[in-house]
Structure 1
Amino acid sequence: MQKPKVAVIGTGGTICSIGVGPFDILDYGANECMLHADEVVAKFPEVHAHAEVIPVRYKAVPSPNIHFAVWKDLVLMMDDLVAKTPDLAGIVILHGTASLEETAYFLSLTAKVAVPIVVVGSQRPASALSTDAGMNLANAIRTAAAPASRGLGVLVLLNDEIHAAREVTKTSTFRLQTFRSPDFGVLGHADGDTIVFYRKPIRRAAPETEFDIRALDALPRVDIVYAYTGSDGTAARAFVEAGAKGVVSAGFAPGFAGQGDADVLKAAVAEKGVVVVQSTRAGSGRTFRGKRLREMGFLIADNLNPQKARLLLSLALTRTSDPAEIERMFLTY
């Protein structure tokens, strides 16, 4: 039987990293050695048992350096891969875990290909004793090739667990089970015998979205103001003065800014048309648009964490500055 074709794009990260020895599982970045996609695949040749793997060289960089230019490149690369390989079953993207959830959600809002896209990383470098890189890669390829993965938006695979890009977040610095979907849990599992799903996300996701970044050169500036006791609004004021078109307030749970930040942001909405979206620093749960937020002109992030709310607000501002329309988008995606 013919194996499904799965493309593997490398962007770097721990899954591509080589430390100085098998016990170098923390400071391996100092070795400054990252493999490209074809080199990672060659290091774990067992992945060929599951698919006809097509490695795609791109860049090997730490994930905190990944932003709009890389995301746009990935969207265009995936367009090209599907056009050139009509029978492509799926796409896997190797990525560092530090910002993996942001890339996954951004692509789930902007990718225009219908094949499954799975973003995968690892907590231990490819050179480490008992690395999770090889198994995560194999399971990501299996998940991308699985027909059941279609129509679920971009997926995230680590530690045998399959998550929705919108819901997943990194919760631990070093533990292998770091990626969790705190409100709703996993979509399914990559078990030894099969890829199995138990639920589907209902929020709209790629490729059926209204966002198209392929002709954009940049995103509008959107910053995050993190709530803490005693904040006097200095950071919020600096972001507004720097030209932010939008601000996400990572507020106290269940979702409100401290008075110092709230005063600055309320004035920014009224006087400069800045769009402020209220999220929470709690890590899970939705915010609500009560009387106080309505009076200040703030919108709500629903249950998106601050870093993901920032991405959706940035994309929304490429389409409109109408608060009602942006509110609709936060209830749609």
Structure 2
Amino acid sequence: MNGADVKEPIAPAVSTLVGEQAVSAKRPRIAVIGTGGTFAMHGRHRFDWIEYADSGVIHPIDDLLQRLGELVPHVEIVPLPFRSLGSVSIGPRDWLELATLIRDTAASDPALTGFVITHGTATLEETAWFLGLVLELEQPVVLTGAQRPANTDGSDAAANLRGAVAVAAAPESRGAGVLVAMGGLFFAARDVTKAASFELAAFEAAPYGPLGRIDADAGVVWRRRVFRDAGPSRQSPRFASILDAAASTALPRVDIAMSYAGADGAAIEAFVAAGARGIVSAGLAPGRPASGEGEALCNAVAAGVVVVQATRAPRGTVPKQRFLAADGIVAGGDLSAQKLRIALMLILASFGVSETAPRDRAQVDRDTVQRILLEL
């Protein structure tokens, strides 16, 4: 479903979530968008925590909300279907359509208090970061997921959705941008990452930590705030226009080259040959490529590809350095490689670089790319 199709205010869900009480004008209204993932899948048995996708059953969001029952008292839940995607299948086109849906829904129904997105956990952090860079909303957008399907023992699906709804409904969350709520904690989209495959407490934000917690009674406790000032400050969306500009085209291709002992330039050369407009080098700590990759990265720069140096270290940072500048390579700061990729895609798109445009080194001012990345 494309956001452009949303014309009228969303009708409230008729379910036990609304409860028996009359809906008051001040009652928080939270739109819940289902995108699939583990949250929507059906385990074949009570301990089907690994290969549950083999069941082939994916529940739509309105069905799941009916099954889970009331989550947060006095909060009205409004199901908003998108489409069911495994988190290993979601990509830039889906991000653009999801962001457009949220933007258009907020415009058509300004009484909505906030949005919750149920999402597969594998790429949840990437979707959250993309949305945080392109959405300019006062309403909070909170992503959540599940490590275990809702019908299996020990599932975290209901608790995580309850927490996300509570965060989205909290008055203090207004203006906080895009957040991730998992395991009783909530995080800034910029910082959060999935750090474990199957553990329930799978999401972390090293070294900064969570923004706050969700208590057992669904109370929301903020301990840190995110920066949302106007202008070129951290966490300020600066790519909202991309949603309109990219409606008829694809975002530029940006790839990630992982460094390791003995790595050569084969992957980098392949990315350039495949049409990459940008490459993020996930280098060895403290943020240097393997020696065998150096020539290929320089050749990529000479071919007009924007190269950003990152580090594969989970708490690493890559500051501006002379050796990078000498080779025409941009320093990635403390963003992870996967989030640098998304930021670079949007930066290149804002410069008018498309997926299919011919390479023109003059199109991209690397000093501007450097400045933007270090401000995000």
Confirm whether residue 260 of structure 1 aligns to residue 284 of structure 2: no
Aligned partners of 2:49 and 2:209: how far apart in 1? 27
Q: Secondary structure at the match of 1:250?
A: strand
Aligned partners of 2:114 and 2:199: how far apart in 1? 28
1:285 to 316, 319, 328: 316
Question: How far 1:92 moved relative to its partner?
Answer: 0.3
1:144 to 165, 168, 190: 168
Aligned partners of 1:113 and 1:18: how far apart in 2? 33
Confirm whether residue 218 of structure 1 aligns to residue 215 of structure 2: no
Query: Which residue is equivalent to 2:12?
Result: none
Query: Which residue is equivalent to 2:273?
Result: 241
TM score, norm. by length of structure 2: 0.85
Question: How far 1:50 moved relative to its partner?
Answer: 4.4
RMSD (CA atoms): 1.4
Aligned partners of 2:76 and 2:38: how far apart in 1? 24
Confirm whether residue 204 of structure 1 aligns to residue 234 of structure 2: yes
Please give the per-residue CA displacement for 1:176-213, whole angstroms capped at 9, x wherever unaligned: 1110001100000011241011112235336x423422
Question: How far 1:82 moved relative to its partner?
Answer: 1.4
1:1-333 to structure 2, matched below 5 A, reads: 2-47=26-71, 49-193=73-217, 194-202=219-227, 203-205=233-235, 208-215=237-244, 216=246, 217-269=249-301, 271-320=302-351, 321-333=364-376
CA contact (8 A) 1:278 1:298 kept: yes
Aligned partners of 1:311 and 1:210: how far apart in 2? 11
Question: How far 1:35 moved relative to its partner?
Answer: 1.1
Q: Percent identity?
A: 40
Aligned AA for 1:205?
Q
CA contact (8 A) 2:138 2:176 kept: no
Aligned AA for 2:216?
G
Aligned partners of 2:240 and 2:324: how far apart in 1? 27
Please give the per-residue CA displacement for 1:78-118, whole angstroms capped at 9, x wherever unaligned: 12221232211000001000000000000000123321000
TM score, norm. by length of structure 1: 0.96
CA contact (8 A) 1:19 1:31 kept: yes
Structure 1: runs of 5 or more not aligned: none
How many matched pairs?
Answer: 331
Structure 2: runs of 5 or more not aligned: 1-23, 228-232, 352-363
Aligned AA for 1:248?
V
Aligned AA for 1:306?
A
Aligned partners of 2:286 and 2:197: how far apart in 1? 25
Question: How far 1:139 moved relative to its partner?
Answer: 0.8
Please give the per-residue CA displacement for 1:204-252, whole angstroms capped at 9, x wherever unaligned: 336x423422221211111000001111210011111111111000000
